[in-house]
Amino acid sequence: MDYDPHHHNCEDMTPEQDEALAEILLGDGALEHAAFHAACALVESPDDPRRLSLFDAIAALSDEPGTLLPPREGNYVGLVAGRARILALGGQYGRALDMLLEVLRANPGSAYLSWARQWAVAPSLGDQPVPWAALGGLLATLCGPLVGRARLWPSEQRALEHFAPLMEALTDHIERCDEPVAAIMLGGFWRRLRKPALALACVELALEGDTGAMGYSALGLALRAANQPEAAAKAFATASLLAPEDPAHDAEQGRAHWDAGDFEGAMEAFAKALEKAPEDHEIYWSLLYTAQCSGATFEGDDPSWLEEVVGEALIADDMHWLMQPCLGSLPQPTAAVVQALEHLRDHYEAPPLGLSFKLSALEPPSALSAMAMWVCDSPEPSMLDVEVEGIQDPDPRVALGPAALDTGHLWAYDGVVPSPTLPPPPPELQVVIADWIVVPYFLPRWWRLAAAHAERFKALTDAELLAALVHVPTCPPETPHELWVQRGQLCAALLVARLDEGWHNSRRRRLLRSVLLGPMDWTTNAAIIAMTQVALETPDALEEIAADFETLAQHIPTQNHCCCIETLAICYAMLPCRPAHAQAHIQELWRLHSTLTE
């Protein structure tokens, strides 16, 4: 490949182009410019032998290799990693690790992990400072989303296992750790991987320092993971004595008693926690349930609804999940039409004659369908008298990916009027979904229901299954139409998600991606939640699903409200090891859209 070393866009090149240009620049003696492109070439494949040799050769030819990659605007991770490698080439493994751990914190999925592992086992690291503070930062990124529960999804488990060789190498230096918090966090890493001996070794070292309540709480968590709930409860009790104002230690003591089947002890611990945090619903629900299980009489709400929601005997993690949006509750369906529908229902027993709607921008087709159910006693949006003043940019009618069916995506537009592209699904499927919608919502429970129903309906055609997303059963008169539509669509999406196993060659992949990347609608939300559950349970699906979510985020209109940004932001944050920049971008979109609806 031929490239002009003086006339090119450094920021917009493929790794192959970066490699070729770095070789040209090296031949011209332009070492700093060559180092930049050689570092860029390594970003996607840090272990490529040819590219590694090229970068190392450039560094070896420089009289001052430390100046080869000066900081640039945005501090591009490829350059930071390149500077770390130059330090390692000079034998400064501790400093190199310090810099590279920050890169991994920003992008935990980066392939630079192999470099970190190599440098962590370098014999000379034993004579150099280990970057414990930087390690603590990385561990906070990896384990922060897991706080509050003992169970991990398979994809979370695999993400931590990916880091295990690096953490094992650094644990070999734990006796030199001068950062007790980092030792506690390293212990937290190991307890989540069910390595109790390593977890306890890290925590016991931390307890030699002045860690106070934090250290004993960490000890309790490690003992709980080691299936020693009685010892864990004692450690949490000590933490509570050291920090009597903090309800978290009492709550953890309650969970340890719960693990041991000691519901009376759990109830007493949760009661103490609730006195300190009377507004904490998770603690309150835990107290209600353990009081019921212990046979105690408790003046409060009837806790029987908890089992009605979960659908089986509860464990402590269920209380955490019940507090989480999209797991324990669904975001409210949003649209200007929904607000109008709520207003009309409050003021009229029956729809007024001659209703027409003037909208500033396109509304989700399903929102119009919910309105049509009430106004016209028909789910067809085309039955409404609607005028639309403008179209968002990007246009939500435009699909971002291929359709699964020859008939196209779920919705087709005649100008600004949407209509479903599929006839209603078989009546027996609608009957099942109608019964399913009224089951109290708890995603783990609905996920189990979906598996049972999928076995019954997997013989249906793709069109019959997808039709259930745009033709929900008839809404009962006492139920808000928008909630009925939302829940019915999620039932259908979860059923599709349970049609088979695996991902890359699966039927569910083809169908769910077609819904996700079709015209923007409430059906998009249903696909997001279903695909998030698939990503958490199927590690091989994680990267593609995360990439699809990032594609969707790039096409969120920023000047008008978007129906799916809240669900997207909540669910993307549930996926393990996502790049910090992508996470920040999606959260900022959610914040921006929140201001539009205030």
**Residue 597: what pLDDT?**
66
Q: Does a structural domain hold residue 360?
A: no
Residue 301, judged by CB atoms within 10 A of its CB (0-12, 13-18, 19+), counts as: exposed
Do 189 and 242 fall within a single domain?
yes
Q: Does a structural domain hold residue 102?
A: yes
Whether the Cβ atoms of residue 97 and residue 117 lie closer than 8 Å to each other: no
Do 519 and 417 fall within a single domain?
yes
Do 235 and 310 fall within a single domain?
yes
Domain closes at, from 127, 158, 190:
127
Q: Does a structural domain hold residue 472?
A: yes
Do 468 and 574 fall within a single domain?
yes
Domain closes at, from 322, 342, 375:
322
Between CA 494 and CA 310 the distance in angstroms is 17
Do 53 and 201 fall within a single domain?
no
Q: Does a structural domain hold residue 2?
A: no
CATH number for the domain that contains residue 80: 1.25.40
Helices within 193-335 (DSSP H only): 196-207, 212-225, 229-242, 247-259, 263-276, 281-294, 304-310, 316-322
The total number of residues shown for the chain amounts to: 598
Residue 68, judged by CB atoms within 10 A of its CB (0-12, 13-18, 19+), counts as: buried
Domain count across the chain: 3
- Which H or E element spans position 418? strand 417-420
Helices within 314-364 (DSSP H only): 316-322, 336-347
**Residue 8: what pLDDT?**
64
- Cβ neighbours, 10 Å, residue 24: 17
Q: Does a structural domain hold residue 383?
A: no
Do 306 and 400 fall within a single domain?
no
Contacts of 478 (CB under 8 A, 6+ apart): none
Question: Residue 223's closest CA among 211, 215, 231?
Answer: 231
Do 107 and 158 fall within a single domain?
no
Amino acid (one-letter) located at 309: V
Buried b (16+ CB within 10 A) or exposed e, 149-168: bbebbebbbebbebbbebbe
**Residue 2: what pLDDT?**
46
Instruction: Name the residue range of residue 199's domain.
Output: 134-322
Do 43 and 186 fall within a single domain?
no
Whether the CA torsion 401, 404, 410, 415 is positive or negative: it is: positive
Q: Does a structural domain hold residue 368?
A: no
Domain closes at, from 95, 127, 159:
127
Whether the Cβ atoms of residue 256 and residue 274 lie closer than 8 Å to each other: no
Residue ranges, the chain, pLDDT below 50: 1-3
Whether the Cβ atoms of residue 471 and residue 425 lie closer than 8 Å to each other: yes
352 backbone dihedrals φ, ψ, rounded to 5°: -65, 150
Do 118 and 159 fall within a single domain?
no
Do 146 and 122 fall within a single domain?
no
DSSP secondary structure string, 410-442?
Answer: SEEEETTEEEESSPPPPHHHHHHHHHHHTSPP-
Peptide bond into 123 cis (omega under 30): no
Do 84 and 163 fall within a single domain?
no
Do 101 and 239 fall within a single domain?
no
Question: Residue 422's closest CA among 435, 437, 404, 436?
Answer: 404
CATH number for the domain that contains residue 301: 1.25.40.10
Q: Does a structural domain hold residue 206?
A: yes
Q: Does a structural domain hold residue 210?
A: yes
